[in-house]
């Protein structure tokens, strides 16, 4: 799951990146509003963590522009502004959640996961596809009730495919959602991960559309 | 008992009006009575002369009276006459029972005129005025009734007019009530208000504006202050939670502690500045009242800031008149330091900061001119507000909390002076500090 963190406080941004990396998010950081605006135009993020008081272009404006452009990306507001008026204004502008600073990292991570689940149309943490069960809270995968040992990347790809099941997912889309900006990957790495998933989950779960990408049938 | 202004107004109005109506009515009745009596007297005079002319002395104290036929008044007994001889003896009268009847009546119910004729006889002519008096009473009653009706109508009108005149006060008090109930944007609609109350309304509106502004500033101060503290607390909390989440390498712990120390220092900075501001604002008077040589303060500040200026390639110069003010040297040094430090930090490489002192009469002026980045026009009214920063990102780079200028102004104001700012984006800013100088001649003071 790829997340954009918009935070101008460098220390906090770095802590957030480290913590979210460890929670298996692919994290990009934008230090000001202009940078965030640019990155939102380049990448389709699964979620945005947005500080309202960032320099150059305020979080309010970013949120407004994002929703005006019709983007459905879930946005979590993370800010020192905790007045009820500010919360109401942010939610009414199209924010999906609001967490005032200071906050617990575990809560931020749990809220982000919930946001991403809800935005895919299924708030339940458990997904079932044929013989495969995915527990998104515990990040565990079962094949006919037997636990399957997946690497973080493999899990992320499977979770993404199942979240978008019934629709074609291209290699570049997988790259975009699994790796942050900082990572340097070749798309054949994806093929290697898919091959490993097929070995562990059985050949039928993930189908290949030659030359286009992969699909998990609904 | 709660007496409303309207009731009091109308009561006073009614009292005055009652007096006016009573005086006027009384005067009318009195005047009408007087003219009626004057008419009666003229009539009686005529009768007396007629009786006197008709009187012929026939000798031996006897008189012969031959009244003209038209003296019907006597025949109808509306009037009477009594003729007495010079010795006082009644010679003749219009009615034989007259003396008896006269005694029966009180004097106030008769009107009489006496006339001494050439023959020495006295003619008394009189008439009964009881009927006139009754008429007059009826007239007085009518006047009184009309007066009461007028009074009632006027009081009713007065009540109505007073209500209309006081309606704006109701509007004003409604707005004031809304204001005190927390609706800070409540204002009185001035264009609908009558002129005397319009002044009250605009004065109140101005007061409301000031109050609103003060509350807004307070609100922003609280929000900014909490932001100023919350950000480093967030860093502390997130960083420690991350570090404690699992076992880390010594390198990672070290980095985490470095981040925490930075956050703690930012909090310390914010708290100290806040305390300094509260100090500067709560001490209305200066801490110490001693002669302070501004030029020595300027030199001290420039020496203190020289390394910073050198690092940024900014040239510092000072010149001007000798100024001595009464106050606290340490506070003034802090205030001036904040201004000059800002001028250096927001300057361009190769720029300059010039400090000039001017003495004109009893007031001194310190001008701090920089060739820096300038301040946008819409930000100038706010630069002395607590925690205000023109560009948050740049301020963080140079490390200010947005309190320096606000503390500086509080100190200058406490010294009886003020500070103003003019600026042009890209060209630089000019801060002008005015301070009242002490009367002591600076040249006579011992050098410090």
DSSP chain A: -EEEEE---HHHHHHHHHHHHHTT-EEEEESSHHHHHHHHHH---SEEEE-SS-SSS-HHHHHHHHHHTT----EEEEES---HHHHHHHHHTT-SEEEESS--HHHHHHHHHHHHHHHTT---SEEEETTEEEETTTTEEEETTEEE---HHHHHHHHHHHHTTTS-EEHHHHHHHHS-TT----THHHHHHHHHHHHHH-TTSEEEETTTEEEE--
pLDDT > 70 in chain A, percent: 97
Cα–Cα distance between B307 and A31 in angstroms, integer? Answer: 30
Give the pLDDT confidence score for residue B61 in this predicted structure.
Answer: 66
Chain B residues whose beta carbon lies within 8 Å of the beta carbon of residue A58: none
Interface probe for B, chosen from A20, A21, A79, A80 (most Cβ of B below 10 Å), is A80
Give the pLDDT confidence score for residue B440 in this predicted structure.
Answer: 53
State pLDDT tens for residues B249-291. Answer: 999 999 999 999 999 988 887 787 777 767 666 655 666 778 8
Neighbouring-strand partners of residue B267: none
The answer to whether B265 and B248 are in contact (CB under 8 A) is no
- ipTM (interface pTM): 0.71
Interface probe for B, chosen from A6, A14, A15, A51 (most Cβ of B below 10 Å), is A15
Span B161-188, average pLDDT: 80
Span A9-14, average pLDDT: 89
A151 Rama class: left (phi>0) / alpha (psi -120 to 50) / beta: beta
Beta strands at B122-128 and B110-116: parallel, antiparallel or unpaired: antiparallel
The answer to whether B435 and B372 are in contact (CB under 8 A) is no
Question: Which residue, among B115, B214, B201, B161, has the nearest Cα to B14 in the 3D structure?
Answer: B161
SS3 B365: strand
HSE at residue B180, side-chain half, CA atoms within 13 A, is: 6
Cα–Cα distance between B351 and B14 in angstroms, integer? Answer: 79
B423 Rama class: left (phi>0) / alpha (psi -120 to 50) / beta: beta
State pLDDT tens for residues A169-196. Answer: 888 888 877 777 766 666 678 888 888 8
Span A22-36, average pLDDT: 87
Beta strands at A2-6 and A47-50: parallel, antiparallel or unpaired: parallel
Give the pLDDT confidence score for residue B442 in this predicted structure.
Answer: 46
Give the pLDDT confidence score for residue B444 in this predicted structure.
Answer: 45
Query: B401 CA to chain A: closest CA distance, Å?
Result: 14
Q: Is A144 on the interface with B (CB under 8 A)?
A: no
- Mark yes or no for CB contact B237/A16 under 8 Å: no
pTM as predicted: 0.51
* Nearest residue in chain B measured CA to CA from A55: B393
Is the predicted pLDDT of residue B205 greater than 60, yes or no? yes
Q: Is the dihedral of CA A180, A185, A186, A191 positive or negative?
A: negative
Please state, rounded to an integer, the average pLDDT across all residues of chain A. Answer: 85
Chain B residues whose beta carbon lies within 8 Å of the beta carbon of residue A101: 230-231, 233-234
Question: Which residue, among A140, A107, A91, has the nearest Cα to A16 in the 3D structure?
Answer: A107
Beta-carbon count within 10 A of A172 CB: 11
Closest CB to A80: pick one of B231, B262, B263: B231
State phi, psi for B188 to the nearest 5 degrees. -90, 135
Least confident among B24-28, B316-320, B442-446: B442-446
Cis, peptide link before residue A102, omega less than 30° from 0: yes
Element (H, E) at B31: helix B5-53
- Residue that wins the pLDDT comparison between B244 and B221: B244
Question: For tokens 């905790």, what's the residue?
Answer: A82
pLDDT > 90 in chain B, percent: 19
- Residue that wins the pLDDT comparison between A11 and B198: A11
Burial class (CB in 10 A: 0-12, 13-18, 19+), B37: middle
- Mark yes or no for CB contact A101/B234 under 8 Å: yes
Chain B residues whose beta carbon lies within 8 Å of the beta carbon of residue A106: 241
Q: Is A84 on the interface with B (CB under 8 A)?
A: no
Give the pLDDT confidence score for residue B291 in this predicted structure.
Answer: 87
SS3 B316: strand
Q: Is B121 on the interface with A (CB under 8 A)?
A: no
Cα–Cα distance between B98 and B104 in angstroms, integer? Answer: 10
The answer to whether B242 and A19 are in contact (CB under 8 A) is yes
Question: Which residue, among B404, B396, B409, has the nearest Cα to B227 in the 3D structure?
Answer: B396
Interface probe for A, chosen from B218, B221, B227, B235 (most Cβ of A below 10 Å), is B235
Give the pLDDT confidence score for residue B340 in this predicted structure.
Answer: 92
Separation of CA B223 from chain center: 35
State pLDDT tens for residues A38-81. Answer: 888 888 888 999 988 888 888 888 898 888 888 888 999 998 87
- Mark yes or no for CB contact B241/A105 under 8 Å: yes
Beta-carbon count within 10 A of B442 CB: 17
The number of residues making up chain A comes to 218
């Amino acid at each position: 799951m790829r997340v954009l963190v918009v935070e101008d406080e460098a220390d906090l941004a770095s802590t957030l990146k480290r913590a979210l990396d460890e929670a298996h998010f692919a994290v990009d950081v934008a230090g000001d509003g202009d940078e965030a605006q640019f990155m939102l135009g380049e990448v389709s993020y699964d979620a945005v963590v947005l500080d309202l008081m960032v320099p150059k272009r305020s979080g309010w404006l970013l949120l407004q522009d994002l929703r005006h452009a019709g983007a459905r990306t879930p946005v979590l507001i993370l800010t020192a502004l905790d007045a009820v008026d500010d919360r109401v204004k942010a939610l009414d502008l199209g924010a999906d959640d609001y967490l005032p600073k200071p906050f617990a990292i575990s809560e931020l991570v749990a809220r982000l996961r919930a946001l991403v689940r809800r935005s895919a149309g299924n708030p339940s943490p458990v997904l079932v596809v044929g013989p495969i069960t995915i527990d998104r809270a515990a990040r565990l995968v079962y094949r006919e009730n037997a636990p399957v040992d997946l690497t973080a990347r493999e899990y992320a790809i499977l979770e993404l495919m199942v979240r978008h099941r019934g629709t074609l997912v291209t290699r570049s889309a997988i790259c975009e959602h699994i790796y942050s900006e900082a990572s340097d990957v070749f798309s054949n790495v994806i093929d290697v991960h898919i091959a490993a998933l097929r070995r562990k989950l059985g050949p039928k779960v993930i189908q290949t559309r030659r030359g286009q990408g992969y699909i998990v049938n609904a | 008992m709660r007496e409303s202004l309207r009731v009091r107004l109308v009561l006073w109005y009614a009292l005055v009006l009652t007096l006016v109506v009573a005086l006027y009515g009384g005067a009318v009745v009195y005047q009408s009575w007087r003219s009626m009596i004057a008419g009666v007297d003229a009539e009686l005079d005529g009768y007396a002369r007629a009786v006197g002319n008709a009187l012929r002395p026939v000798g031996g104290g006897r008189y012969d009276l031959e009244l003209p036929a038209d003296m019907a008044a006597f025949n109808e007994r509306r009037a009477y006459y009594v003729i007495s001889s010079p010795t006082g003896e009644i010679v003749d009268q219009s009615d034989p029972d007259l003396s008896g009847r006269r005694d029966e009546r009180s004097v106030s119910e008769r009107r009489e005129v006496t006339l001494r004729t050439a023959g020495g006889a006295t003619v008394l002519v009189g008439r009964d005025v009881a009927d006139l008096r009754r008429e007059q009473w009826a007239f007085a009653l009518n006047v009184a009734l009309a007066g009461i009706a007028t009074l009632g109508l006027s009081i009713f009108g007065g009540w109505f007019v007073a209500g209309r005149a006081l309606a704006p006060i109701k509007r004003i008090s409604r707005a004031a009530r809304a204001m005190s109930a927390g609706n800070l944007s409540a204002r009185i609609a001035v264009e609908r208000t009558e002129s005397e109350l319009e002044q009250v309304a605009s004065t109140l509106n101005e007061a409301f504006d000031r109050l609103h502004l003060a509350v807004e500033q307070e609100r922003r101060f609280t929000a900014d202050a909490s932001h100023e503290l919350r950000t480093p607390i967030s860093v502390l909390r997130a960083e420690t939670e991350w570090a404690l989440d699992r076992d880390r390498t010594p390198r990672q712990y070290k980095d985490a502690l470095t981040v925490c120390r930075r956050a703690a220092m930012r909090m310390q900075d914010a708290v100290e500045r806040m305390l300094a501001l509260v100090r500067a604002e709560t001490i209305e008077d200066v801490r110490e009242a001693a002669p302070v040589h501004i030029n020595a303060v300027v030199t001290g500040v420039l020496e203190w800031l020289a390394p910073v200026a050198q690092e940024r390639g900014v040239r510092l110069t000072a010149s001007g008149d000798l100024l001595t003010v009464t106050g606290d040297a340490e506070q003034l040094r802090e205030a001036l330091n904040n201004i000059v430090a800002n001028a250096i930090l927001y300057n361009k490489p190769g720029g300059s900061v010039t400090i000039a002192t001017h003495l004109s009469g009893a007031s001194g002026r310190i001008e701090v001119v920089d060739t820096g980045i300038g301040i946008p026009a819409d930000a100038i009214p706010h630069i002395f507000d607590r925690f205000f920063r023109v560009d948050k990102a740049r301020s963080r780079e140079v490390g200010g909390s947005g309190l320096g200028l606000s503390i500086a102004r509080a100190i200058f104001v406490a010294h009886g002076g003020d500070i103003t700012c003019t600026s042009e984006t890209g060209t630089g800013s000019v801060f002008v500090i005015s301070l009242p100088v002490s009367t002591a001649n600076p040249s006579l003071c011992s050098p410090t």
